[in-house]
Amino acid sequence: MTITDTTTPAAGATSRRLTTAKAMVDAIAQEMERDPSVVYLGEDVGAYGGIFSSTTGLLDRFGPDRVLDTPISETAFIGLGIGAAVEGMRPIVELMFADFMGVCLDQIYNHMAKIHFESGGNVTVPMVLTTAVGGGYSDGAQHSQCLWGTFAHLPGMKVVVPSNPADAKGLMTAAIRDDNPVVYMFHKGVMGLPWMAKNPRATAAVPDGEHVVPIGKAAVAREGSDVTVVTVSLSVHHALDVAEKLAGEDISVEVLDLRSLVPLDREAILASVAKTGRLVVVDEDYLSFGMSGEVVATVTDHDPTMLKAPVQRVAAPDVPIPYSHVLEYAVLPRPERIEAAVRQAVTG
Amino acid sequence: MTTETESPGSVRADSGQQHLDGATRVGLYETMVLCRTFEEAILREYHADKGPGFDIGKGLIPGEMHLSAGQEPVAAGVCAHLTTDDALTATHRPHHLAIAHGMGLRAMAAEIFGRETGLGRGRGGHMHLFDPATHFSCSGIVAEGYPPALGQAFAFKRQGTDRIAVAVAGEGASNSGAFHESINLAAMWTLPVVFVVEDNDWAISVPRDAATAVKSNATRAVAYDIPGERIEGNDVEATWAAAKRAVARARAGEGPSLIEVHTLRLWGHFEGDAQGYRPELAEVPSYDPIPRYEQILRAAGLLDDDAVARAAATAKEKVEDAVDFAKNSPLPDPASATSYVFA
């Protein structure tokens, strides 16, 4: 593994510049150090270090009893995580791609997410389900989906979607310590992988030591006054790039990074839209019946008169993610589409 | 087992390999009677207020009801070797296993009646019984109770205990991916699991012969290089003997085993099932394992009229107490319907 790990600390602060992947591993290692009941299991998480570097170095540090390569049996090993969590462990279980949920969804939504409820609160399932999401590198329709809207639609699991290294660490720490099942969805495009195009912000300062980001609190990634862009994950970076560009034209864009879909920080959405009166939602997941609609409904349920202009939604337009690069980029929420939507929102 | 003293009425079950003493045999009988008595009470209460006609959503016990009459030999034979520290995951037809494993009847009945005093405060229902005190759980999804049992066994093993997990599924489940994935993983990681298949011949209306390519799921155990046994004749003592071997192997850290018991679904798949698909329907009651076992124990001098009456009375008292408790318990507050989604 050749993850970039520049160790130039910010002046006077105890932090290091890490990739998102490295920050995620940092949190897992700290929690494994702190709590012997934390284990990590999944496909290729041992010697390989996770296909998307989610576990690099953990096997060497904690050994094969705590970092376990599984057979390609997602139903069995996710179920194993559930049973272990019920008996007091805090397993982290990796589903290599969120797209693979189809082979094991029953354990996820009928068991992991429902046992606490069905037991009337008597049984807890403190596990983390990590999974890679997102496209942009021509991996085709079965390896490029985000699907966070699908997970978020099904009650009983928190859904965390970090966009940057510091949040990746802080949200992972919070997820491991949470007494609920938490689905931790990391976009391949923010991990800082050396073999994939990445945004420069995929490497950034990460606090040393214990770092917890509470699940359910959105972050204002950039303050602005003319229009609010609500988004998550890789799209946060695209939105920030667009905001930077439009600042030169005196268009002030506020970028709100939700950081989790469940719980959804509705107050943060309302606070920002109350300020700007204009809303763009950017979602790499499918357009219909998903996150973008939920964000809009959050505003219109509260007070539709907050909006000075029609809402713009930039999402995957209800087609499978195409393979060919030009087709894929035509459906992904690329910066060009986001910029056009922002312009429409401020002039409309 | 050759050093054990063979008391009056004892037998060597399972071709003489396992010694089964008289008290244990009577215990198996009493467990089966308790399970059956509970199911008969639920049957009575379930149908008491479904009319006019039959409305599945009506009455004090609404919804689907899968009763386990006829399958008591599996529960009694397997659970005799477990303590409440061992985990048990069961199916949509879970009552006999829950009772044999030692679940409190009051909280169980209250859950079936959808009451606030139930195991799940009325959120679960009869297919979703979760009892931390006995590490019991069940799933309404066929075969999907197997995978969580792996994790319970995984946790017990890492905690350095000799606790085990028993995972029960029906024969219809043995053709699903969860079944095979689970057995392979348990074998790979030498997990202390006993896999049990209750073969009651029917996956709802589809007979085993029309769905399952192998005559015995012990064959499938071979495929995963673990011990497998099939018990014919719904035989509680042979089940007990097979479970004794499998449980001992799991406790000793030697890994999983599979036991398939050819059992009997005495009643329908669920209440309201007219079973028109079942050709030998009229003969089914004659296969009831409880009167049959009672005759065996009478012949062995272990049961007489008084003992049988006592077992029935004791079971009835416990069950009716649980049913009364349930019926007199408060319903959940509708305002709390959204509680317990998150801890």
| B93-104 residue pLDDT tens | 999 999 999 999
Q: What is the CATH number of the domain that holds A175?
A: 3.40.50.970
Q: What is the CATH number of the domain that holds B210?
A: 3.40.50.970
Question: Is A277 found in the same domain as A159?
Answer: no
Residue B17: its pLDDT value, please?
A: 61
* Domain contains B334: no
Residue A5 has pLDDT above 70, yes or no: no
* Percent of chain B residues topping a pLDDT of 90: 94
Question: Is A245 found in the same domain as A143?
Answer: no
Of the three residues A176, A207, A238, the one that is the final residue of a domain is A207
Asked about A153 being catalytic, the answer comes back as: no
> What separation in angstroms does the CA of B343 have from each of B165, B234, B340?
25, 42, 6
Residue B19: its pLDDT value, please?
A: 83
Contact B155 A107 (CB under 8 A): no
* Domain contains B343: no
Q: Distance between CA atoms of A334 and A325, rounded to whole angstroms? A: 12
In chain B, DSSP finds a helix count (H) and a strand count (E) of: 11, 10
Query: Looking at beta carbons, which residues of chain B come within 8 Å of A76?
Result: 146-147, 150, 178, 181-182, 184-185
Contact A75 B144 (CB under 8 A): yes
User: Model confidence over B143-195: pLDDT tens digits?
Assistant: 999 999 999 999 999 999 999 999 999 999 999 999 999 999 999 999 999 99
* Domain contains B255: yes
Residue A166 has pLDDT above 50, yes or no: yes
Contact B139 A116 (CB under 8 A): no
Question: Is A96 found in the same domain as A61?
Answer: yes
User: Model confidence over B206-228: pLDDT tens digits?
Assistant: 999 999 999 999 999 999 999 99
Residue B15: its pLDDT value, please?
A: 59
* Domain contains A106: yes
Of the three residues A207, A233, A252, the one that is the final residue of a domain is A207
Do β-strands A203-207 and A15-19 pair in parallel, antiparallel, or remain unpaired?
antiparallel
One-letter amino acid identity for A77?
F
Query: Looking at beta carbons, which residues of chain B come within 8 Å of A103?
Result: 177
User: Model confidence over B324-336: pLDDT tens digits?
Assistant: 999 999 999 999 9
Q: How far is A66 from chain B (nearest CA, A)?
A: 10
Residue A36: its pLDDT value, please?
A: 98
Question: Is A145 found in the same domain as A55?
Answer: yes
* Domain contains A67: yes
Query: Looking at beta carbons, which residues of chain B come within 8 Å of A75?
Result: 144, 147, 177-178, 181-182
Give me the helix-helix angle, B146-158 and B177-188, nearest 10°: 20
* Cα angle for residues A24, A91, B188 (degrees, 5° grid): 115
**Interacting residues of A135 by C-beta distance below 8 A, sequence separation 6+:** A143, A144, A145, A284, A321, A328, A332
Contact A110 B141 (CB under 8 A): yes
Do β-strands A67-69 and A90-97 pair in parallel, antiparallel, or remain unpaired?
unpaired
Residue with tokens 């529960």: B75
Q: Distance between CA atoms of B36 and B163, rounded to whole angstroms? A: 28
Q: How far is B53 from chain A (nearest CA, A)?
A: 30
* Domain contains A132: yes
Residue A119 has pLDDT above 60, yes or no: yes
Q: What is the CATH number of the domain that holds A251?
A: 3.40.50.920
Question: Is A23 found in the same domain as A143?
Answer: yes
- Listed residue (B193, B168, B254, B180) closest to B221, CA to CA: B180
Contact A76 B147 (CB under 8 A): yes
Contact B147 A78 (CB under 8 A): yes
Question: Is A262 found in the same domain as A185?
Answer: no
Please report which confidence band the pLDDT of residue B6 belongs to, taking 50, 70 and 90 as the band edges: low
Question: Is A232 found in the same domain as A200?
Answer: no
What are the backbone dihedrals phi and psi of residue B248, each rounded to the nearest 5 degrees, phi first?
-60, -40
Residue A348: its pLDDT value, please?
A: 74
* Percent of chain A residues topping a pLDDT of 90: 95
Contact A156 B128 (CB under 8 A): no
3-state secondary structure A272-294: HHHHHCCEEEEEEEECCCCHHHH
Q: How far is B3 from chain A (nearest CA, A)?
A: 37
Contact B121 A121 (CB under 8 A): yes
Question: Is A112 found in the same domain as A251?
Answer: no
Residue B16: its pLDDT value, please?
A: 55
Number of domains chain B contains? 1
Residue B1 has pLDDT above 50, yes or no: no
* Arithmetic mean of pLDDT over chain B: 95
Do β-strands B87-90 and B165-170 pair in parallel, antiparallel, or remain unpaired?
parallel
Residue B11: its pLDDT value, please?
A: 75
Query: Mean pLDDT, to the nearest integer, of A278-305?
Result: 98
Looking at residue B281, the DSSP 8-state letter turns out to be G
Q: Which residue has the higher pLDDT, B1 or A176?
A: A176
- Listed residue (B95, B106, B41) closest to B321, CA to CA: B106
* Domain contains B5: no
Residue B73 has pLDDT above 60, yes or no: yes
* Percent of chain A residues topping a pLDDT of 70: 96
Contact A120 B118 (CB under 8 A): yes
Query: Looking at beta carbons, which residues of chain B come within 8 Å of A126?
Result: 343
**From A111, A116, A143, A238, the catalytic residue:** A143
Q: What is the DSSP string of A8-64?
A: -PPTTSSEEEEEHHHHHHHHHHHHHHH-TTEEEEETT-STT--TTSSSTTHHHHH-T
| Mutation choice for B interface testing from A32, A114, A119, A215 by most B CBs within 10 A | A119
Residue B4: its pLDDT value, please?
A: 44
Of the three residues A207, A236, A257, the one that is the final residue of a domain is A207
The residue range of the domain holding A81 is 17-207
Residue A13: its pLDDT value, please?
A: 64
* Domain contains B340: no
- Listed residue (A205, A261, A191) closest to A230, CA to CA: A261
Residue B230: its pLDDT value, please?
A: 98
* Domain contains B1: no
Residue B251 has pLDDT above 90, yes or no: yes
Residue B186: its pLDDT value, please?
A: 98
The pair of three-digit structure tokens given for residue B129, joined into one six-digit string:
């019984």
Residue B299: its pLDDT value, please?
A: 97
Contact A106 B342 (CB under 8 A): no
Please report which confidence band the pLDDT of residue B129 belongs to, taking 50, 70 and 90 as the band edges: very high
* Domain contains B218: yes
Question: Is A124 found in the same domain as A44?
Answer: yes
- Listed residue (B289, B236, B288) closest to B18, CA to CA: B236
Question: Is A135 found in the same domain as A191?
Answer: yes
Please report which confidence band the pLDDT of residue A10 belongs to, taking 50, 70 and 90 as the band edges: very low
The residue range of the domain holding B56 is 11-329
What are the backbone dihedrals phi and psi of residue A101, each rounded to the nearest 5 degrees, phi first?
-55, -25
Residue A187 has pLDDT above 70, yes or no: yes
Please report which confidence band the pLDDT of residue A12 belongs to, taking 50, 70 and 90 as the band edges: low
Q: How far is A181 from chain B (nearest CA, A)?
A: 9
User: Model confidence over A312-335: pLDDT tens digits?
Assistant: 999 999 999 999 999 999 999 999
Query: Looking at beta carbons, which residues of chain B come within 8 Å of A114?
Result: 128
CA nearest B336 in A: which residue? Answer: A120
* Domain contains B325: yes
Residue B7 has pLDDT above 80, yes or no: no
* Domain contains A266: yes
* Domain contains A325: yes
Helices (H), A132-201: 148-153, 165-177
Query: Looking at beta carbons, which residues of chain A come within 8 Å of B139?
Result: 110-111
- Listed residue (A244, A158, A254, A150) closest to A201, CA to CA: A244
Q: Give the side-chain half-sphere CA count within 13 A for B136.
A: 29
User: Model confidence over B228-250: pLDDT tens digits?
Assistant: 999 999 999 999 999 999 999 99
DSSP bridge partners of A255: A222, A229
Residue A147 has pLDDT above 90, yes or no: yes
Helix, strand or coil, per DSSP, at residue B302: coil
CA nearest B118 in A: which residue? Answer: A120
* Domain contains A11: no
What are the backbone dihedrals phi and psi of residue B117, each rounded to the nearest 5 degrees, phi first?
-85, 0
User: Model confidence over B288-321: pLDDT tens digits?
Assistant: 999 999 999 999 999 999 999 999 999 999 999 9
Chain A interface residues facing chain B, Cβ-Cβ under 8 Å? 65, 70-71, 73, 75-89, 91, 103, 106-107, 110-111, 114-124, 126, 155-156, 158, 179-180
Residue B3: its pLDDT value, please?
A: 41
Residue A1: its pLDDT value, please?
A: 26
Q: What is the DSSP string of B156-196?
A: HHHTT----EEEEEEGGGGGSHHHHHHHHHHHHTT--EEEE
Query: Mean pLDDT, to the nearest integer, of A54-72?
Result: 98
* Domain contains A170: yes
The pair of three-digit structure tokens given for residue A6, joined into one six-digit string:
């520049």
Residue A202 has pLDDT above 90, yes or no: yes
Query: Looking at beta carbons, which residues of chain B come within 8 Å of A86?
Result: 137, 148, 151-152
Question: Is A271 found in the same domain as A143?
Answer: no
Question: Is A339 found in the same domain as A198?
Answer: no
Residue A199: its pLDDT value, please?
A: 84
* Domain contains A315: yes
Residue A245 has pLDDT above 70, yes or no: yes
> What separation in angstroms does the CA of B212 have from each of A330, B201, B222?
48, 10, 16
Q: How far is B174 from chain A (nearest CA, A)?
A: 14
Number of domains chain A contains? 2
What are the backbone dihedrals phi and psi of residue A58, each rounded to the nearest 5 degrees, phi first?
-70, -40
